[in-house]
Amino acid sequence: MRTAVSPKDICAAYLEGYFYAKITEQLITSKIHSSDLDKLKKTAVECMKGYIEHSQFSNEEREELKNNYEHWADVTLKGIKQRLRDSDKLHE
């Protein structure tokens, strides 16, 4: 059974793509400050908290996500910073 994509989902996908494009443009064309990445991580963690709270996951799944999302954010940030250091794009 095929379901239609809602306008809300289309808007969310568009905005997500736009954000990725803007971030990627900055990473390609200029240096980015380490402190800016730290702020982005904080924002991502807050967004993930909201996502978990408003999700339709079971209570068990929510607890598992709550226990892991900060770790995922830390690991991701560490990897991004290392890649930027390696390409001389990180301003620390």
Number of alpha carbons in the 13 Å side-chain half-sphere of residue 70? 4
Are 36 and 81 spatial neighbours (Cβ–Cβ below 8 Å)?
no
> Could you tell me if residue 24 is inside a domain?
yes
The mean predicted confidence, pLDDT, of the chain is 83
**Measured CA distances, 47 to 15, 54, 70, 76, 79 (Å):** 14, 11, 11, 15, 20
Give residue 40's domain range.
7-91
Residue 1 has pLDDT above 80, yes or no: no
pLDDT tens digits, 28-72: 777 788 998 898 888 888 888 888 888 888 888 888 888 888 888
Q: How many separate domains does the chain show? A: 1
pTM (2 decimals)? Answer: 0.57
Residue 73 has pLDDT above 60, yes or no: yes
> Could you tell me if residue 17 is inside a domain?
yes
